[in-house]
Amino acid sequence: MKQSDLGIVGLGVMGENLALNFDRNGFAVSGYDLDDTKRENFARRTHAAAPRSLQELVASLRTPRVLLLMVPAGAAVDAVLADLRPLLAAGDIVIDGGNTRFTDTQRRMLELEGTGILYVGAGVSGGEEGALRGPAIMAGGHVQAWPRVKPMLQAIAARAEDGQPCCDWMGPSAAGHYVKMVHNGIEYADMQTICEAYFLMQQLARLQPAEMSEVFAGWNRGELSSYLVGITAEILARTDPETAKPMVDVIVDTAEQKGTGKWASQAALDLGVTAPTIADAVFARTVSAVRAERAAASQVLRGPSLAFAGDREAFVEKIRRALLAAKVCAYAQGFQLLAAADREYAWDLPFGTVAGVWRAGCIIRARLLEDIRRAYVRDPKLANLLLDEHFAAVMADSHQALRDVVAAAAQHGVPVPAFMSALAYYDSYRAARLPANLLQAQRDYFGAHTYQRLDRPGKFHTKWTEA
């Protein structure tokens, strides 16, 4: 029997679609799952081998073996690795293609030290459709594995407009899964800002979903062009067949999450990175989850009138520009998260390559990513995306619209936490002086934490109270 090029463990929708993608690109695949039904369905749909055990799966692969784990992140990955280790030899490669927390990838690589087994943490973005037709793939781990897996992974990846595969090497250790985590953090912020744009048009401009669909479709033909803006236009155009109401109006306003946005926010706190728009997008989901409390609070807590007397068309244009400004700030925060990890872990992250990989296949694919890629090609050590000439000009042209939209939202009681935090981030970053001098004096007052002076170096303490 011909041996397979790749073994996939975990035959859910993602695993099965990736198998079809590999097969379409000329790679023979074997697949294994604990679930007999999934194995049978996999064999029937893909016409690939579906061994009944991990031992048979490993035996079906040509050496050195390559295995792709598509099982739920966490304990399931550890369990599969524990079962695989005795079956593998030095030079064999294990790719974790799940939404794994980067610290787990770091730990697993340490645990595999001395075995000769090469571990790759690969962030895969694009959902079910991307897995089948071309995802974005962010690979990292043992660098010796890359020459072997590169042709396979780049073959199945999406292609950007210039033909480049949206798959590349991010760096050693957990660099791949860290980049994927940041991708998801930006995704949270991107989705929240789009939702706030929709909410402002609904609450203040009083547009109907069909009208908003046309607005988003128009935006998707310009500088805001992106996968998320495009699907928003499609969602707002859809009618519920049961009630004939706009589909969006029959969906409960409670958002779920899988944790990657939270991980990105935690990493920002751990590394001392300012990423408020990403964090506020996470908090927006958590407050949406207390729906019953919000309904009760709406009967008790009072706010301003929602009556809006402005020019609707002009206001919608301001929302467009505000959305662009907020999106740029969210990406700037994401790349600051990458830079901080690069300093902490010495991964030598290729920021331009990261932006290039995100141009197609992934959820945050957008026209502006080519501009981001070019920014980091011009200056690989760019301190902040906002300082790039192009994006500084974008913000110069759009920050006033963001201010006007945030002010209107505040005056009329419409919650827009991501827009507000993006504006605060922009204004804080451009401030030559902040009130942290008073804060440091407070810390010195109650805790003798000392402070620095403007007029001479050193650490100082003041005795603020008389004995």
Beta bridge partners of 171: 140
**375 neighbors 391 (Cβ within 8 angstroms):** yes
Q: Provide the residue type at 196 as one letter.
A: E
Tell which residue, 300, 265, 267, has the closest CA to residue 284.
265
**Residue 234, Cβ neighbours under 10 Å: how many?**
12
> What span, in angstroms and rounded, lies between the C-alpha atoms of 315 and 115?
62
The sign of the dihedral angle between the CA atoms of 321, 326, 331, 335 is positive
Q: Which residues neighbour 311 within 8 Å (Cβ) at sequence distance 6 or greater? A: none
Q: Which residues pair with 140 in a beta bridge?
A: 121, 171
- How many other β-carbons are positioned within 10 Å of the β-carbon of residue 127? 15
d(CA 69, CA 97) in angstroms, rounded, equals 6
* Rounded CA separation 229/329 (Å): 17
Q: Residue 49's beta-bridge partner residues?
A: 30
Inter-axis angle of helices 209-219 and 312-345, nearest 10: 60
Contact between 126 and 165 under an 8 Å Cβ cutoff? The reply is no
Q: And the tokens for 273?
A: 């990175």
Question: Before 64, cis peptide (omega within 30)?
Answer: yes
- Hey, which residues are catalytic here? 180, 187
Tell me which H or E stretch contains 29.
Answer: strand 29-32
